[in-house]
Amino acid sequence: MSRKPIIAGNWKMNKNYGEAVVLAQSISNRMDDFWLNKVDVVVCPPFIDLKPVKTVFEFDRMDVELGAQNVHWEEAGAFTGEISTGMLKNVGCDWCIVGHSERRTLMGETNEDVNRKAKALIAAGMKPIVCVGESLAVRDAEAQDEFVCAQVDAAFAGIPAASAKSCVVAYEPIWAIGTGRTATPEQAEAMCAAIRTTLARIYDQETADQMRILYGGSMNPGNAEGLLAQENIDGGLIGGAALDADSFVDLVKAAL
């Protein structure tokens, strides 16, 4: 089954307005638009950088897609500090990360929140990148498959197969995020295969085979080749290496 790979950059809480424009422009300058037939490229800057980053890629006619790092499930109202799907759509944002481990750990985001956010994004015609992943303690207890697959079950509860097909799952072991300690290709593949088996159980094999599953956690141009060569790894969600245009574009090239 051939799935189009995705390289998605999570800029986290980095880059002010001017810096975001410079990074987007540097990425655009290094890209060949022909590559985008073979790989989907998504950048996820902070909310206030979404519009200027979009403008850079639009001006260059470079079809790099835009993602947010979070969203609220309500459409509008008294939710101070939150952003809705409609607001994201309005600035040309088609993707959104949900359930990143930093939001689960630091902001108390629950599996139920992740499910609500995924449903709201789907209802708005957007594509969620659903992050799942275990802590080192869970891995040391050899409970990682059970833990991560339960996160997948919870995230997709009540989402029909037709909608799930446009969703992406990102397997991001917490112990590998921002630590420089990458999962081995074998560890990452084993979990991504288990996630696909879970999706096949929730839906059916055809749906699971169409869904894209990414690896994230200290991925960089030096270790990408082995990870991207795995049967069940359809790209990467990139943190640190996405903040450097050369590294990010090298990762795009590695996925071609």
Least distance from C-beta 238 to ligand PEP, angstroms?
5
Kindly determine how many residues on this chain lie close enough to bind ligand PEP according to the rule CB under 6 A.
13
Q: What angle do CA 69, 75, 76 make, to 5 degrees?
A: 100
Q: Which of 213, 237, 245, 249 binds ligand PEP (CB under 6 A)?
A: 237
CA distance 111 to 104: 8
Q: How crowded is residue 201: how many other Cβ atoms within 10 Å of its Cβ? A: 13
Task: Report the residue closest to ligand PEP, judged by CB.
Answer: 239
Which of 198, 218 has the CB closer to ligand PEP?
A: 218
Which of 45, 239 has the CB closer to ligand PEP?
A: 239
**Could you say which of 65, 102, 172, 189 is catalytic?**
172
Which of 57, 175 has the CB closer to ligand PEP?
A: 175
CA distance 251 to 81: 33
The residue whose two tokens read 């607001």 is 87
**Could you say which of 100, 102, 109, 189 is catalytic?**
100
Residue 207-236 contact track with ligand PEP, rule CB under 6 A, x = bound:
---------xxxx-----------------
Least distance from C-beta 160 to ligand PEP, angstroms?
27
Least distance from C-beta 216 to ligand PEP, angstroms?
3
Contacts (CB under 6 A) with ligand PEP, residues 151-180 = 172, 177-178
Residue 172: active-site member: yes
Which of 42, 177 has the CB closer to ligand PEP?
A: 177
Least distance from C-beta 59 to ligand PEP, angstroms?
27
Least distance from C-beta 219 to ligand PEP, angstroms?
6
- For the annotated catalytic residues, the residue numbers are 100, 172
